[in-house]
Chain A
Amino acid sequence: MKYEPVIGLEIHAELLTRSKMFCGCEVVDSIIAKPNRYICPVCTGQPGSLPVLNKKAVELAVRVGLALNCKIHTESIFARKNYFYPDLPKGYQISQYDQPLATDGKIPIETATGTKDVRIRRVHLEEDTGKLSHADGYSFIDYNRSGVPLLEIVTEPDLRSPEEVRAYATKLRAILRYLDVNIGDMEKGVIRFEANVSVREEGSAQLNTRTEIKNLNSFRALAQATEHEIKRQIEIYARDGSVEQETLGFNEATGKTYSQRGKESAHDYRYFPEPDLPPLVLDQDWIDSIRASLPELPEAKTHRFIEQYELKPQEARLLTSEKALADYFEEVVAKSKSSARTVSSWIAGEFMRYLNELGLGSTDTPIPAEDFAKLIDLVTNKKISANSGKVVLSEMFRNGGKPEEIIRAKNLDQVSDEGWIQETITKILDDNPKEVQQYLAGKESILQWLMGQVARTTKGKADPSVSRVLLVKSLEERRK
């Protein structure tokens, strides 16, 4: 009996607006802001307060809907989702139910077997709840986060493996960052992923009971939790058991999912249209203008990089993982005379390495494109060796400065002057007769050591390819 996983993902993303979804309170980082400072009668649910829609939030939602190839509905309705909890001040959340903002979209993801489309069921707007924390037998509520605009994106259960789940999550996050709609920080909770997991016999079309996994703080946790849950469910079916519909959490330490709530029937949220807000009617021209102003998205950019710069798909994907990085790459290419492939390997290699080492994000570009381009060209034109180039880059990262200045200061000019190199080689061979004999006796590997000596003595300045030719020639001459 072979089973296949059937997985759908629900994402809640906080929108990068200045103010909240239904009031003018400032949206702040609730981890660092003092509790309950950014609140008002509306977002704390004081009696008699009324919601007023944030237009920017709608614009950002339309942007996302378009980027996910959805149908944007020119008329959509807000609805009340009713339940009791202290972090929900009105006793209901204003969300969308029957007529959401956007539906029927899709985005492609790369899988082991090729590209596949993941269908987007719906995209809708809602407000966030406050934040609860517990200590000393008390529960504390901070309403700074209450009312922050949220976008909910729900897929069809099209994902078939933890890898696909991760691919989709990564893709979606990149799109949201490209659109400047969300900063994508899972750890901070500004983007939250929930997986709906079920399994069924391979080839079957029916949908079996699914479980919901919540509170996942990283892509790793998302993938691991999904993997564990798939196994768990398969085991249950293998012994003729049945899967219970429940909400699960994931314990990263044990790598296992666990039940979060006791036996509980599905919540009845008693949705009805929000009477305090008229239907949201969008002007088609407005939607079209948003579409026209969408930036080039990761998918399109990747393809263009492959075509235009003749990059390998892997390279292109790395460079387009962040818009800022992709833009930087293109800026450097424009300012450099070296090939795009050369620039790409510099960025993918040394540049990314230093970013990681110094704990910078891949959107940080501390080296002006112009200077980086200059440096790359100096290496390409053999003005300095590749090794010297790395030294210069490192210096530029740590202390800034222009490549030519650093080369001068550190005396790194690569020398191709054969006469000068020959002098150095002759001296080294004179000083190391034993090694010369070893080479002549057939130990070819000693050449490497001798090359090292040349490099050391010339402080890396000697052009390696020239040095090698001269060294071999000089050694052969001593055979006589």
Chain B
Amino acid sequence: MLLNTHELSIKATHELLSKRLISSEELTRDYLERIQRIDPQIQSYVTISEEVALEQAREADHRFKTGEGLTPLTGIPYSAKDSISTRGVNTTCSSKILENYKPFYDSTAIQKLKSVGAILLGKTNMDEFGMGSSTENSGFFTTRNPWNFEHVPGGSSGGSAAAVAAGLAPFALGEDTGGSVRMPASFCGVTGLKTTYGCVSRYGLIPLVSSFDTIGPMARSVYDVALVLEAIAGHDPKDSTSRVESIPNYSESLRQAKNLRGLRIGIPKEYFVEGLDSDVDSALREAIKQIEGLGAEVVEVSLPHTQYAIPVYYLILFAEASSNLAKYDGVRFGLSERNGDSLLDVYLKTREAGFGAEIKRRIMLGTFALSAGYYDAYYLKAQKVRTLIRQDFEKALEACDALITPVAPTTAFRIGEKITNPLDMYLSDVFVVAVNLAGIPALSVPCGISNGLPIGMQIMGPHLSEEMLLRIGHLYQTQTDWHTKHPLCWNN
């Protein structure tokens, strides 16, 4: 194929398909071939679902032929983070305990993408069960940052971000519990959206923290992200925490967007402090100027309880995860060390063999935090402070419409740099976790490069304000070209 199909946006790719300049099957084979060729260096994919992809491509081609059932995502290939259930295709959460687990059902998000004719290329690598900020905690292998193979891609949706950044999928589904879409998006120079809790159905998403988990799209532009969001958002009766509101036509709103006049952008002072890399700081300030240039007014705001976000987040995470991971016991599915001396033996052997060190650490901490005599002091207290943090955002978002902050204090760190000290790793989440505690949406958009590594800007808004966030990000991308920069392997 002379045309480098991987360089095209979703919209441009779709045009190609609609005009029958290329068939969906050919396009899919292009991507599969590219993955075979390039991914061994990056290792973003855990499973490449070639048969399924080609079958879905043929089905999409049929739609193009008959002209029926065509949507903006018909024929567009994508990858999904390996915590999102895909029927008949391995869904491992990058854990040995689910190494060969094939779900009997599709998650709702996957079902929706199937129904619009998108094509599943495969499942991407992650920190095991979402526990991590660098994808180094994967039970299989570490994904490399396509910009510099010695550096992490961020986590826990590192595989999704790397695949999109390296041109190995036009878009990817990631999952954000404590920054896991935004952080890798920022580290890999792609656009990623953490959706409002309840905006996209969690049915089929293998949970880490049931109170925080969200599914969100990652792509190479805000416009592409909007197209995916349209397809996957919406109420799901199978998810009791799913919201009922109707979905706006996000892409239409972007097409109509002209400027940001009348919009007030808040800059929380607690997010621009010592410890913030100077390049990151400058890139953010430059980006904020661009946004002002689009007509927005900038004000300083305060989120006074920011310093408690990390301990609150991790306490709740440990507790809920310890409960969510109880089902991995070797009885019904997954790894099973069946030859034990007793039931307890089977449990212990299976979980010892199946879980990585960080998983075990967090299960122990969570069990402790929930135990009799400690529940009030830890879990309950954390939930109460969480309310204060949520109220911080509510107050701040009365004085402005959206907030802008960095995504991470630095660019992507080196592989191995933080992995030996879990606390160091936890602290790199400082700018992203508060958003999850409040349940609000946040968009990560590329806004600079430092020493060859991307910098991301985070735009936060009130519940279900995705339309506004996408508008801000999209207009920013009409004025800048950071999102069009690519790593070297892009040209391979």
Set B98, B211, B323: member contacting A80, Cβ < 8 A: B323
Q: B311: CB under 8 A from chain A?
A: no
Interface residues of A in 37-90 (CB under 8 A from B): 41, 44-53, 80, 82, 84, 86, 89-90
Instruction: Contact check, A48 vs B204: say whether CB atoms are below 8 A apart.
Output: yes
**Which chain B residue has the least Cβ–Cβ distance from A80?**
B323
Contacts of A141 in B (CB 8 A): 331
Contacts of A270 in B (CB 8 A): 323, 367, 370-372, 375
Contacts of A80 in B (CB 8 A): 323
Instruction: Contact check, A276 vs B210: say whether CB atoms are below 8 A apart.
Output: yes
Instruction: Contact check, A276 vs B240: say whether CB atoms are below 8 A apart.
Output: yes
Once A41-B104, A275-B211 are accepted as A-B contacts, the answer to whether A51 and B240 lie under 8 Å apart by CB is yes
Instruction: Contact check, A272 vs B203: say whether CB atoms are below 8 A apart.
Output: no
Contacts of B204 in A (CB 8 A): 48-49
Contacts of B139 in A (CB 8 A): none
Contacts of B375 in A (CB 8 A): 270-272
Q: A283: CB under 8 A from chain B?
A: no
Set B91, B241, B347, B370: member contacting A276, Cβ < 8 A: B241
B-side binding surface: helix, strand, loop or mixed? loop
Instruction: Contact check, A47 vs B347: say whether CB atoms are below 8 A apart.
Output: no
Instruction: Contact check, A272 vs B323: say whether CB atoms are below 8 A apart.
Output: yes
Set A51, A52, A275, A276: member contacting B237, Cβ < 8 A: A52
Instruction: Contact check, A278 vs B323: say whether CB atoms are below 8 A apart.
Output: no
A141 to B343, CA, bound (A): 13
Set B107, B326, B371: member contacting A48, Cβ < 8 A: B107
Contacts of B149 in A (CB 8 A): none
Interface residues of B in 97-146 (CB under 8 A from A): 98, 101, 103-105, 107
Instruction: Contact check, B203 vs A44: say whether CB atoms are below 8 A apart.
Output: no
A-side binding surface: helix, strand, loop or mixed? loop
**Which chain A residue has the least Cβ–Cβ distance from B207?**
A48
Once A46-B104, A276-B210 are accepted as A-B contacts, the answer to whether A84 and B370 lie under 8 Å apart by CB is no
Contacts of A86 in B (CB 8 A): 329, 331, 343
A268 to B369, CA, bound (A): 12
A43 to chain B, nearest CB (A): 11
Q: A255: CB under 8 A from chain B?
A: no
Contacts of B205 in A (CB 8 A): 48
Contacts of B37 in A (CB 8 A): none
Interface residues of B in 192-225 (CB under 8 A from A): 202-207, 209-211
Instruction: Contact check, A48 vs B210: say whether CB atoms are below 8 A apart.
Output: no
Contacts of A272 in B (CB 8 A): 319-320, 323, 370, 375, 379
Chain A 135-165, CB-CB to B under 8 Å as 1, else 0, gives 0000001000000000000000000000000
Instruction: Contact check, A278 vs B241: say whether CB atoms are below 8 A apart.
Output: yes
Q: A91: CB under 8 A from chain B?
A: yes
**Which chain A residue has the least Cβ–Cβ distance from B351?**
A84
Chain A 319-356, CB-CB to B under 8 Å as 1, else 0, gives 00000000000000000000000000000000000000
Instruction: Contact check, B105 vs A91: say whether CB atoms are below 8 A apart.
Output: no
Instruction: Contact check, A89 vs B371: say whether CB atoms are below 8 A apart.
Output: no
Q: A439: CB under 8 A from chain B?
A: no
A86 to B327, CA, bound (A): 10
Once A53-B240, A276-B210 are accepted as A-B contacts, the answer to whether A92 and B326 lie under 8 Å apart by CB is yes
**Which chain A residue has the least Cβ–Cβ distance from B334?**
A47
Instruction: Contact check, A48 vs B379: say whether CB atoms are below 8 A apart.
Output: no
Instruction: Contact check, B202 vs A50: say whether CB atoms are below 8 A apart.
Output: yes
Instruction: Contact check, B203 vs A50: say whether CB atoms are below 8 A apart.
Output: yes
Instruction: Contact check, A91 vs B103: say whether CB atoms are below 8 A apart.
Output: no
Once A46-B103, A48-B103, A84-B347 are accepted as A-B contacts, the answer to whether A277 and B240 lie under 8 Å apart by CB is yes
Instruction: Contact check, B371 vs A268: say whether CB atoms are below 8 A apart.
Output: yes
Interface residues of A in 79-113 (CB under 8 A from B): 80, 82, 84, 86, 89-92
Which of B85, B240, B333 has the largest count of A CB atoms less than 10 A from its CB? B240
Contacts of A82 in B (CB 8 A): 323, 326, 370
Instruction: Contact check, B327 vs A45: say whether CB atoms are below 8 A apart.
Output: yes
Set A50, A89, A91, A271: member contacting B240, Cβ < 8 A: A50
A184 to chain B, nearest CB (A): 31
- Number of residues of chain B lying within 8 A (CB) of chain A: 43
Q: B238: CB under 8 A from chain A?
A: yes
Chain B 66-99, CB-CB to A under 8 Å as 1, else 0, gives 0000000000000000001100000101000010
* Interface magnitude class on chain A: 20 to 34
Set A46, A52, A90: member contacting B105, Cβ < 8 A: A46
**Which chain B residue has the least Cβ–Cβ distance from A22?**
B240
Instruction: Contact check, B203 vs A49: say whether CB atoms are below 8 A apart.
Output: yes
B88 to chain A, nearest CB (A): 14
Once A41-B104, A275-B211 are accepted as A-B contacts, the answer to whether A50 and B239 lie under 8 Å apart by CB is yes
Q: B332: CB under 8 A from chain A?
A: yes
A91 to B327, CA, bound (A): 5
A464 to B181, CA, bound (A): 96
Instruction: Contact check, A46 vs B333: say whether CB atoms are below 8 A apart.
Output: yes
Interface residues of B in 349-394 (CB under 8 A from A): 367, 370-372, 375, 379
Contacts of A46 in B (CB 8 A): 103-105, 332-333
A48 to B327, CA, bound (A): 11
B164 to chain A, nearest CB (A): 23
Contacts of B237 in A (CB 8 A): 52
**Which chain A residue has the least Cβ–Cβ distance from B370?**
A270
A427 to chain B, nearest CB (A): 85
A50 to B329, CA, bound (A): 19
A53 to B238, CA, bound (A): 10
Which of A46, A51, A52 has the largest count of B CB atoms less than 10 A from its CB? A46
Contacts of B211 in A (CB 8 A): 275
A473 to chain B, nearest CB (A): 86
Instruction: Contact check, A47 vs B326: say whether CB atoms are below 8 A apart.
Output: no
Once A46-B104, A84-B347, A270-B375 are accepted as A-B contacts, the answer to whether A91 and B329 lie under 8 Å apart by CB is yes
A279 to B202, CA, bound (A): 18
Contacts of A49 in B (CB 8 A): 203-204
A89 to B327, CA, bound (A): 6
Contacts of B331 in A (CB 8 A): 86, 89, 141
Instruction: Contact check, B320 vs A275: say whether CB atoms are below 8 A apart.
Output: yes
A53 to B320, CA, bound (A): 20
A270 to B370, CA, bound (A): 5
Interface residues of A in 413-464 (CB under 8 A from B): none
Instruction: Contact check, B240 vs A48: say whether CB atoms are below 8 A apart.
Output: no
Contacts of B239 in A (CB 8 A): 50, 52
A268 to B209, CA, bound (A): 21
A133 to chain B, nearest CB (A): 15
Instruction: Contact check, A91 vs B326: say whether CB atoms are below 8 A apart.
Output: yes
Set B327, B347, B367, B379: member contacting A90, Cβ < 8 A: B327
A346 to B105, CA, bound (A): 60
Instruction: Contact check, A45 vs B105: say whether CB atoms are below 8 A apart.
Output: no
A84 to B375, CA, bound (A): 19
A141 to B239, CA, bound (A): 27
Instruction: Contact check, B326 vs A41: say whether CB atoms are below 8 A apart.
Output: no
B290 to chain A, nearest CB (A): 39
**Which chain B residue has the least Cβ–Cβ distance from A139?**
B343
**Which chain B residue has the least Cβ–Cβ distance from A270?**
B370
Contacts of B372 in A (CB 8 A): 268, 270
Contacts of A268 in B (CB 8 A): 371-372
A80 to B327, CA, bound (A): 13
Known pairs A50-B202, A53-B240, A84-B329; list 9 more (Cβ under 8 Å).
A41-B104, A46-B333, A48-B207, A49-B204, A82-B323, A92-B323, A276-B240, A277-B240, A278-B240
> Could you tell me which A residues sit within 8 Å of B by CB distance?
41, 44-53, 80, 82, 84, 86, 89-92, 141, 268, 270-272, 275-278
Question: What are 8 A-to-B residue pairs whose CB atoms are below 8 Å?
Answer: A41-B103, A46-B332, A47-B103, A50-B239, A52-B239, A91-B326, A272-B379, A275-B209
